[in-house]
Structure 1
Amino acid sequence: MALGGCANAWAAASSASLPFDDIAGSFAKNEIVELVEEGVVNGTGNRKFEPKKNVTRAEFVAMADRLLKLAPVDADMPSFADVPAKSWYYGWIEAAVQLGIAEGKSKSSFEPSARITRQEAAVLIVRALKVDPGSDTGSGLDYKDKSQIAPWAAPYVQAAHTLGLMGGADGKFRPVDAMTREETAAVLDRILHDNVWSKAIRQTPNMGLQLGWQNGLTTAQFKEQVKNSAVNTLVPRWFFLEYGSTPVSNHADPSLSSWAKQNNKKVWAMLGNHSDSALTHQILSDGHARAAVIQKLAGYAKTYGLSGINVDFENVNPEDRLSLTAFISEFGTSLRAAGAVLSIDVSPDLGTDWTEAFDYEALGRYADYVVLMGYDEHWDGDPVAGSVSSLPWVQSALNRMLSVVPAKKTILALPFYTRDWTLQSGGASSEELTLIQQGYRIRSVAYNRSWDSDLGQYVVSYMRQGSQHKIWVEDGRSLGLKTMMAAKRGVAGYAYWYVGAETDEIWTSLSNAIRYASY
């Protein structure tokens, strides 16, 4: 009797030490405890975990996201009609969809409350681990029920089996059975016990340089926007080439420099040319004028405690190619002596007069950083409607840049704007929209939306006043894909035109993309 009482007391104490009262008999007890400590899983209330309960598609995605240390994304517009913005799982599903981890059951529905089957779980977890399953049809599987595995899932089931993440029982895989909460815990915990994945997940990713241009905002407004962003390098538009005896106009605000220093951020003030080709030629072609500009700006760098200067010259004549290169060479030497760095903004090399002035290889040699402006694929006044920054176009432009400029010197600039195109028989016209305006516009009309996997963005179409409109959407999903593409190529960082035009959740999307790309 005494021995039985001791045993009961021991069992009660053991159960009390667990986070839930109903997992002591679960085969995944230890895994559940570990995942609770990692913040990956939680209970269902009243100290219950319900290990035998089926897992929904939304729950599985949320747990996978938390395992990968991704943050929920409060996307400006829902990806699926049945995933409302106010649902608890909205941000988790949006985060996974943006990174290509999860997909809907159809183009318009995710079915978040449906039970996730074992073969669906295999697909999602293999995809989350960025493992290419190849085209293996599962021929190597020896499960008695392998004929029940759907063709679209077979390569993933094979991969999950090979990786040791999912096995069968009694010689069966049970592909259409629902995953239970304890099975899910077991699978996810196996990832944490893989040395490579565990190390990757626990590392803090390097965000690199995060440049944000100031445009149309007061200093106070710019500071507020930067506070809520990932920007670590401020680019205020302070200096411009000018005609006359004073070759550079100065619009500096010293209070921004002081604030940046207090908040551990850098300032790379911008030098512009008003897109004036004649003025630019006049200064670049004159050695004394170049020297005067450089001397002035090197002095400003010291006066305002600048960490760098960002040169943004547009509409430069092709004949000024050598003069521009000489200016960057001389300017870079002078700035480095002042303890600052030099960056120059360039358009993608399209082999046109617009970019003929850029000797990309030489600029990459003499500047500390080259900023590739990954936008204006289709521009204001373009008679052909299209994206301002499709994924294949940006990828092609970046690949071409990296063939002559080292990745460690390359910064990819991304657009916080898009265009609303009006399609008419005589050609297309467009209106520029910030990402904030884009959301308002789309929500104000009856629209059709489809995901273009080739372009890496949604395309929205609607009718207004008898004319068809199209918007190639820039959002967390499209920008995240471009970010991951560039991260794989080892770029030094990213720049954004412009701070204040973005919706709030963009920074979460970009942070997730950089983290996921690091895996």
Structure 2
Amino acid sequence: MKKYILSLCLLLSFTALLSPAQTSAAQAPGSTAFHDISASFAKEAINRLAKRSIVSGDGTGAFLPRNPVTRAEFVTMVARMLRMEPVQNDLPAFRDVSKSAWYYGWIHAALNLSIVEGNGYRFYPNDPITRQEAAVIVIRAMKQSGVNYTNTAAIYADSASIAQWAWNAVSQATGTGWLQGSKGQFRPQDAITREETAALLDRILQTGNVKSRIDSQTPVNIHMGWLYNGTANQYISYAKRAGLNVLVPRWFYMESNGKVSDSTDIELLNWAHNNGRQVWAMVGNCGNDEGTHQVLSSAPIRKSVIDRITANVARYRLDGINIDFENVMPSDRQNLTTFITQLSIELKRLGAKLSIDVSPDLNTDWTAAFDYASLGRQVDYMVLMSYDQHWGGSPIAGSVSSLPWSESALNKLLTQVPAKKSIIAYPLYTRDWRIASSVSSQDITLVEQGHRTRLKRASLSWNADVGQYEAAYRNNGIQHRIWTEDARSLSWKHLMAARYQIAGYAYWYPGAETTDVWQSIYNAERYASYSFGI
């Protein structure tokens, strides 16, 4: 029992309504034909929630108002209230939440947004949820954890029975009027019933601007992705799946003599034009520092490259250009700024956008050529490539993109470039580190990541400090570690970046991900847009 209570304190994760598997077409969410709620104090609340597809019955026309609610059911109801969608996380968080269970996607949707928390062990999905647990989950879901109602819970005669970890949440839920006691008691350890849950969630929806915010449209941000390792048809499929509104095909490469190679795919271009996607074709330098120096340091060659780029923009009716220059010499700092300034002038004449990819400013030679502030004044968007914290040849094993490292890089960029011009790029890959007498790594896609963790029966442990699972396994006696990137870690990254109100997000590279990440990202962006006035 102590172990179970400890798990509750650690997880603080909770659960309302009967499972979708138990719901017939006649009693699907949205139906209000319940024959057993006429005497319920929550009758009107139940009907309102049913119309919003938040609650359902048992398939026979019954709502069962006095039945207890399980933890999985409560999470599902809260997620539906917030208009989230279930997410089939490729990496499961809990040993007792089966991927085949109807509630798997709902629990992980809430987990990805930190509405529930877990340490990778157990969730107890079919156990009844207590009233104090329900208080914690709704306060967290409604972003009220920092609001101070410290002593409100003391009004209850049984306040001594309220767990310390739930005290503030019970106080807040009482202070807002969402949860009410009975005969002076809160009954913190009693299971919350279905009618009590309906009343609770209905009160939340009737508070302040909650309902209008939840019913509002999700803001449209830039979602861009580079074409890599795939055909045009595959990229189109990825773009549809990911909801990309900006495509970045790697079509143009600058040569030291001023020429620009052209690999434009007309099929992809036409599809984008016909389907409302913008095309910002990438211009790369193949990491050739000497060749890049020859171009940037010569005014005639710079002009030749710019002329060829703008000619392609006009010829193909491109919406923009994405500059991706890597391994630029520090001595070319002013030359690079001059090149971007001149290119910006020409692209503005054509009505095309200019973006440039940059690595985090770590005060190294790798980024010394990039004058972030000056470049930021010239481009429409600056894309921060927040990955390779621990690069392929790093002597130390570690994350490709930990949450604090990514946020630190974004913070530094925003001191020099406005948020409205800033886009943050996230990795859809990671590295499998081989840790022996020396450290080596292999780049792997998120698809391969899931395959390996299952095949090798890797242990998974969530590290909240980095915002990632750490997977560990042994192969032929050698220790392996993976700092994973998945639906949960990417949700955390999007929630973080959304606080800064940046212009959008980019991904390297579509096609490497598991499909669940896109639903998790959609949920994260929608949830981040909610600003409740309570």
Report the TM-score when normalising by structure 2.
Answer: 0.92
Query: Are residues 1:209 and 2:226 paired?
Result: no
Rounded Cα–Cα distance in structure 2 between residues aligned with 1:18 and 1:239: 58
Aligned counterpart in structure 2 of residue 444 of structure 1, from 445, 455, 468:
455
CA deviation map 1:5-27 (0-9, x unaligned): xxxxxxxxxxxx95200011110
Rounded Cα–Cα distance in structure 2 between residues aligned with 1:322 and 1:376: 26
Aligned counterpart in structure 1 of residue 203 of structure 2, from 170, 190, 194:
190
Q: Which residue in 2 is equivalent to 1:468?
A: 479
Query: Are residues 1:376 and 2:388 paired?
Result: yes
User: Given residue 286 of structure 1, which amino acid in structure 2 is its aligned partner?
Assistant: S
Q: Which residue in 1 is equivalent to 2:189?
A: 176
State which drifts further: 135-144 or 214-223: 135-144
Q: Which residue in 2 is equivalent to 1:362?
A: 374
Rounded Cα–Cα distance in structure 2 between residues aligned with 1:500 and 1:447: 24
Secondary structure of 1:172's partner? coil
Unaligned 5+ residue runs, structure 2? Answer: 1-30
Q: Which residue in 2 is equivalent to 1:11?
A: none
User: Given residue 356 of structure 1, which amino acid in structure 2 is its aligned partner?
Assistant: A
Aligned counterpart in structure 2 of residue 480 of structure 1, from 488, 491, 498:
491
Q: How far off its partner does 1:137 sit?
A: 5.6
Query: Are residues 1:118 and 2:118 paired?
Result: no
Secondary structure of 1:372's partner? strand
Q: Which residue in 2 is equivalent to 1:14?
A: none
Residues 281, 234 of structure 1: alpha-carbon distance in 2 compared, 3 angstrom cutoff: same
Aligned counterpart in structure 2 of residue 417 of structure 1, from 408, 414, 429:
429
Q: Which residue in 2 is equivalent to 1:72?
A: 86
Equivalence map 1:66-465=2 (5 Å): 66-104=80-118, 107-133=120-146, 138=151, 141-244=154-257, 247-425=259-437, 427-465=438-476
Paired residues of 2:32 and 2:51 also in contact (CA < 8 A)? no
Rounded Cα–Cα distance in structure 2 between residues aligned with 1:430 and 1:255: 37
Paired residues of 1:137 and 1:151 also in contact (CA < 8 A)? no
Rounded Cα–Cα distance in structure 2 between residues aligned with 1:446 and 1:339: 53
User: Given residue 472 of structure 1, which amino acid in structure 2 is its aligned partner?
Assistant: W
Paired residues of 1:133 and 1:155 also in contact (CA < 8 A)? no
Rounded Cα–Cα distance in structure 1 between residues aligned with 2:177 and 2:327: 57
Q: How far off its partner does 1:225 sit?
A: 1.4
Equivalence map 1:33-72=2 (5 Å): 33-72=47-86
User: Given residue 187 of structure 1, which amino acid in structure 2 is its aligned partner?
Assistant: L
Rounded Cα–Cα distance in structure 1 between residues aligned with 2:311 and 2:184: 76
Q: How far off its partner does 1:138 sit?
A: 3.9
User: Given residue 368 of structure 2, which amino acid in structure 1 is its aligned partner?
Assistant: E
Paired residues of 1:136 and 1:154 also in contact (CA < 8 A)? no
Paired residues of 1:421 and 1:431 also in contact (CA < 8 A)? yes
Paired residues of 2:109 and 2:520 also in contact (CA < 8 A)? yes
Rounded Cα–Cα distance in structure 1 between residues aligned with 2:77 and 2:89: 19
Rounded Cα–Cα distance in structure 1 between residues aligned with 2:410 and 2:161: 44
Aligned counterpart in structure 1 of residue 38 of structure 2, from 13, 21, 24:
24
Q: How far off its partner does 1:140 sit?
A: 5.3
Q: Which residue in 2 is equivalent to 1:501?
A: 512
Secondary structure of 1:153's partner? helix
Paired residues of 2:71 and 2:125 also in contact (CA < 8 A)? yes
Q: How far off its partner does 1:84 sit?
A: 0.4
CA deviation map 1:428-486 (0-9, x unaligned): 11000111111111111022111101101100111111111100000011111111111
Rounded Cα–Cα distance in structure 2 between residues aligned with 1:137 and 1:102: 22
Paired residues of 2:152 and 2:175 also in contact (CA < 8 A)? no
Q: Which residue in 2 is equivalent to 1:13?
A: none
Secondary structure of 2:165's partner? coil
Q: How far off its partner does 1:243 sit?
A: 3.4
Rounded Cα–Cα distance in structure 2 between residues aligned with 1:447 and 1:292: 53
User: Given residue 69 of structure 1, which amino acid in structure 2 is its aligned partner?
Assistant: R
Paired residues of 2:95 and 2:120 also in contact (CA < 8 A)? no
Q: How far off its partner does 1:255 sit?
A: 1.8
Paired residues of 1:138 and 1:157 also in contact (CA < 8 A)? no
Paired residues of 2:148 and 2:172 also in contact (CA < 8 A)? no
Rounded Cα–Cα distance in structure 2 between residues aligned with 1:184 and 1:87: 22
Paired residues of 1:133 and 1:156 also in contact (CA < 8 A)? no
Rounded Cα–Cα distance in structure 1 between residues aligned with 2:120 and 2:454: 19
Give the RMSD, CA atoms, in angstroms: 1.3
Rounded Cα–Cα distance in structure 1 between residues aligned with 2:33 and 2:336: 66
Rounded Cα–Cα distance in structure 1 between residues aligned with 2:268 and 2:382: 24
Rounded Cα–Cα distance in structure 1 between residues aligned with 2:261 and 2:450: 37
Q: How far off its partner does 1:232 sit?
A: 0.7
CA deviation map 1:160-188 (0-9, x unaligned): 11111111010000000001001111111
Rounded Cα–Cα distance in structure 2 between residues aligned with 1:496 and 1:235: 10
Paired residues of 2:470 and 2:483 also in contact (CA < 8 A)? yes
Q: How far off its partner does 1:195 sit?
A: 3.0
Rounded Cα–Cα distance in structure 2 between residues aligned with 1:21 and 1:140: 36
CA deviation map 1:374-406 (0-9, x unaligned): 100000100100000000000000000001100
Secondary structure of 1:152's partner? helix
Identity %: 50
Unaligned 5+ residue runs, structure 1? Answer: 1-16
Matched residue count: 500
User: Given residue 33 of structure 1, which amino acid in structure 2 is its aligned partner?
Assistant: N
Q: How far off its partner does 1:132 sit?
A: 2.1
